[in-house]
Amino acid sequence: EQPEVPPQPAPRPIFQERQRITGLPLYFQGYLSVRHSRCQEFRVHWTELRGTMLFFYDDKKAPTYSQKLDISSLTSATDVYPDENGSAQFILMLSNGELELKANDCECGKEWRGFILTVTKLSVSPDNSLLPEQLTRMCEVLEKEKKRRNTLNNCSSTSLNTKSPLSSTLTTMPACFYAVSRQEATEMLEKNPSQGNLILRPGSDSKNYAITIRHELDAPRLKHYKVMSKGTSYVIELERRVTLPSLQEVVNYFVTQTRGNLKPFIMET
């Protein structure tokens, strides 16, 4: 019987793209089966723990995430005994509900639980079942997360009129960003009009972005706009180009220019 090969990280170009999109340091990664409180079945995702965010990817080599979850409001992480297949399962209790996670084995489950508790509680749990090298890695992550939060606090204390060079790299993607194609974005807006009418998505070249909107005027109209990444700025390809410092500002521009007629599309979990 062949020994099980541990999951390998994504190739470096994909890792760099994820780093750019999320703007957060990577602390831990691997396959996880995920089930939200209102869902019936588990879904397998390649999962990354970055800061206090979990990013879920449909594929290990996908450059953009399909879902993300802020776990900073974690109140508890409860172990569930391994199932008949030996998978380790634990439940995260968050302020807005619970999330069930399942790892391939108990050892991997312990690591996930340990790293999640480390970044949310800012302390390493004295778990005797963890190996010394696992505890060492968690201590390293703890120091990185403390430094990251200190940087964030320094940025937030700066005057709002002063643009910090770190602000753009520490900002996560807008909530209306989805790693979908043009056709998929169109279908999402058509099928769920009550949840918004503006989606930010990857561009067709996978290097830039696009905005898809659905206007309800005399009849529903769909439009797509290119958003080009230029250094630390983003350019909306309109008749007269508009340059903005972040993707969130791009979304805000469309909302304010239409006096709120365009609303970011937020899919209910």
Q: What is the pLDDT of residue 258?
A: 87
CA distances from 139 to 28, 123, 124, 156 (A): 13, 8, 7, 26
pLDDT average per 10 residues of sequence, the chain (269 residues): 54 82 89 83 93 92 89 86 73 86 87 93 82 90 89 57 39 81 90 91 85 80 92 89 91 90 82
Pick left, alpha or beta for residue 97 (phi over 0 → left; psi -120 to 50 → alpha; otherwise beta).
left
Domain boundaries, the chain: 12-154, 182-258
- 3 state SS of 225: strand
> Quick one: which of 19, 27, 7, 46 has its CA closest to 124?
27
Q: What is the pLDDT of residue 161?
A: 42
| CATH superfamily of this structure's domain 182-258 | SH2 domain (3.30.505.10)
* N residues, the chain: 269
Q: What is the pLDDT of residue 2?
A: 45
pTM: 0.57
| CA separation for the pair 114, 104 (Å, rounded) | 16
Residue 155 main-chain phi, psi, to 5 deg: -65, -45
> Quick one: which of 194, 166, 171 has its CA closest to 266?
194
Q: What is the pLDDT of residue 168?
A: 40
The architecture in CATH of the region 12-154 reads Roll (2.30)
